[in-house]
Amino acid sequence: MSQVGSFNRPIKLLLVNQLTINVGFYMLMPYLAGYLSNNLAMAAWMVGLILGMRNLSQQGMFLIGGSLADRIGYKPMILAGLGLRVAGFAMLGFAQSVPSLLVASALTGLAGALFNPAVRAYLAAEAGERKVEAFALFNVFYQAGILVGPLIGLTLLGVAFRWVCVVAAALFLVLLVLQARALPSRRGAGDEPKQSMLADWRQVVGHRPFLLFSLAMIGSYVLNFQVYLGLPIEVRRVTGGETGVAVLFAVSGVLTVAGQVRLTNKVKARWTPTLAITRGLLLMGASFVPLALAAGLPSASTNRPLSWFEFLLAMAPVLISTVLLTLATMIVYPFEMATIVNLASERTVATYYGFYNTLSGIGIAAGNVLTGLALDTGRSSGFPALPWIALTVTGVVCATAVAALGKRGSLSSKAPDADSEITPAAAPPQHVAANSR
């Protein structure tokens, strides 16, 4: 991780920030459903409502969180988000009623909507021309938190779920104090906003190249989310247990932490950003081919546990898919984040991130429903490969769309700032303006 030392102090702080955020989040959230259903004896629909409230409040507020970050600065929004996480996680440990649990869940989601766009915009602004390298490191710290968090949570769970919540809240409180003291203030280009928030949103929605790129990338989030949906379902089908799910997350996390920076450096030296994203999306789609080929294999028997050899044999297609999907995400993510910045107005980078995250969240929700329908339809119709083929096609369609945008020069079309005064006659062609940066 020697590359971390080559960045300035704010970027180092942001990397530690994201690591700690994910440690705190993943030491609690994977066990929340079990606590609600077992300890509080809640019905499944009620558990789903409480968990869904977090996702709804986060995805629904991303755009507002990003816009506020562009107006009042990145640091205040990061600190506000951390503060809400402290309150939300503390409430989850002590709340007993449904209304209070809903409020706590909403607070944890709103927290993410406030600090996520701000952190990414801050990172992009500080990294400058090294955005791709910075986001590669960001993903390493992000995945390291996902690896460590559940292990800490599992240890504390042996004492009580309340301790998981208290320690997670305390972790966010410590991070809040440290970031308040050590993180320099930062905001987008310009001292004061030149137009209303609504005008900023119209500018984002009206920026056709960015909008098309955002729509083209929605499928990638549906594919990537299969680590949480389709792949665990397949693991349970072929092994009859949960052990393989933990193996999937471990393989994905270790691979990212160990290889992200090296892979990004190699890809950056050989491919253009558009080519990297396109080939990464193709690999995302191809990662589901092993599952399509193995879809006809029988489900695990419930009469006896699998031997280690049988377990590894049953897990082989899912593990291959996990490795390929992880590698594809490692290829795409840094260039995807940098492309958003390149397309955005310098003054409203966080707003662009917020809108992008909102679209991605909507896409994930719709994609989950469609994937679930494909899984059910595949089983009932005797064509179990259906969902995996559909996901493969999704990857190809997304890659084709991004390649077409790149060929047209759309991924170099930076949005004008509100205070830009370029007349149509004086405005250079988009590809010329992009090449001059």
- CATH classification at residue 62: 1.20.1250.20
Domain end marker among 170, 188, 206: 188
Residues of the chain with pLDDT below 70 are 1-2, 44, 188-194, 242, 301-304, 416-437
Predicted local distance difference test score (pLDDT) of residue 169? 95
pTM (2 decimals)? Answer: 0.83
Residues 141, 227: one domain? no
Residue range of the domain that includes 83: 1-188
Amino acid at 94: F
Predicted local distance difference test score (pLDDT) of residue 418? 54
Residues 183, 229: one domain? no
Residues 290, 373: one domain? yes
Distance CA 229, CA 288 (A): 13
Could you tell me what percentage of the chain is helix, strand and coil, using 3-state DSSP and rounding each to the nearest 5?
A: 80, 0, 20
Predicted local distance difference test score (pLDDT) of residue 431? 33
Q: DSSP string covering 51-88, please?
A: HHHHHHHHHHHHHHHHHHHHHH-HHHHHHHHHHHHHHH
Distance CA 370, CA 268 (A): 34
The sign of the torsion formed by the CA atoms of 218, 132, 115, 122 equals negative
Distance CA 296, CA 276 (A): 33
Average of per-residue pLDDT values in the chain:
87
Predicted local distance difference test score (pLDDT) of residue 102? 92
The phi, psi pair for 126, rounded to 5°, reads -75, -35
Residues 176, 197: one domain? no
Domain end marker among 188, 214, 237: 188
pLDDT per residue as tens digits for the range 129-159: 999 999 999 999 999 998 898 888 888 988 8
Distance CA 123, CA 69 (A): 13
Whether residue 357 contacts residue 117, with contact meaning beta carbons closer than 8 Å, is answered with: yes
Predicted local distance difference test score (pLDDT) of residue 379? 87
Residues 253, 375: one domain? yes
Predicted local distance difference test score (pLDDT) of residue 154? 84
Residues 264, 352: one domain? yes
Question: Comparing C-alpha atoms, which of 344, 329, 106, 112 is closest to residue 217?
Answer: 329
Count of domains forming the chain: 2
Domain end marker among 140, 171, 188: 188
C-alpha distances (whole Å) from 217 to each of 121, 187, 213, 339 are 19, 27, 6, 11
Residues 184, 221: one domain? no
Distance CA 62, CA 42 (A): 29
